[in-house]
Amino acid sequence: MSIYVDKTSRILIQGITGHEGSFHAEQMLKFGTNLVAGVSPGKGGEWVLEGKVPVFDSVKKAVDITGANVSVIFVPARHALDAMFEAVEAEIEVMICITEGIPVRDMILLMTYMEGKKTRLVGPNCPGILTPNESKAGIIPGTIAIPGNIGVVSRSGTLTYEVLYALKKAGFGVSTCVGIGGDPVLGTNFRDVLEAFEADPQTDKVVIIGEIGGNEEERAAETIAKHMTKPVVAFIAGQTAPVGKRMGHAGAIVEGSYGNAMDKINAFQNVGVKVAKYPSEIPDLLLT
């Protein structure tokens, strides 16, 4: 079992004929992802990837014909809000938005619209979801993880890859890796993923990769204290970042003493979470 996507997920890509969409669609197909459709307005009726994947003008039509239930969005930021509205209206179960640079106002409008809807949003500005040997929905390289019992959830992109590879080198397999994204407004947060891993019988331990800015990690620590029975290991990026300066992600900004690395580390340690000084220490902490 995995969380959010697995080998039975029927995945479509919004923006499949664009540069990023077509490149990653090919990588997903090579991985073995059950990629059933693409959506690109005005190009319905075409086939891409050597005739393996049909293209539709709308998400609704793609869902009706192929039964797609997961969408991966590679649409440019100026069109991303409309693309996400369309996926929600088509009752896509899991919507993974890779697009970066989406205005906060657009995300607030979307989150308000999504209240009471069946769709789960992962992202935006995220690397997606990887379930080794089952499904790759997004841009996480499929070769850097092996199947296993470690759940991974991260706000970072490249750090996710580093940690997955470190786990693989140490012989640790992964149940599912979820990149939630680093923007200020997110569809799925640490608490959501932690609770999903807690309920997943195939996940025995969890790695959480946080970073400076916001209060996601502090709220995750509260969830761990109240709801988690499985061991959790953490790493916080940005420990040497200067106060008041945005580092990388839109959400990675420290204002005064709010959102700094030490407070996040203390919050985790106070609820029994072991915190690595460097990503390479994570495998050793999982053994203790």
- Kindly compute the dihedral angle of the four CA atoms of residues 96, 98, 104, 106, in this order, to the nearest 10 degrees: -60
**Among 19, 24, 79, 249, which one carries the catalytic annotation?**
249
Residue 254's SS3 state is coil
Rounded to whole angstroms, the Cα distance separating 66 from 59 reads 10
Which residue in 234, 243, 221 sits closest to 159, CA to CA? 234
Q: Please list, in sequence order, all residues whose beta carbon lies within 8 angstroms of the beta carbon of residue 268, skipping any fewer than 6 positions away.
A: 208, 217, 220, 221, 224, 232, 234, 236, 275
Query: Is 24 part of the annotated catalytic residue set?
Result: no
| 223-254 b/e (C-beta count within 10 Å ≥ 16 → b) | bbeeebeebbbbbbbbeebeeeeebbbbbbbb
Between β-strands 94-97 and 120-122, what pairing exists: parallel, antiparallel or unpaired?
parallel
- Cβ–Cβ < 8 Å for 57, 37: no
Q: What DSSP string describes 76-139?
A: -HHHHHHHHHHHHHTT-SEEEE------HHHHHHHHHHHTT-SPEEE-SS--EEEETTTEEEES
Q: E strand or H helix at 160, and its extent?
A: helix 158-169
Alpha carbons 26 and 19: distance in angstroms, whole number: 11
Residues annotated as part of the active site:
249
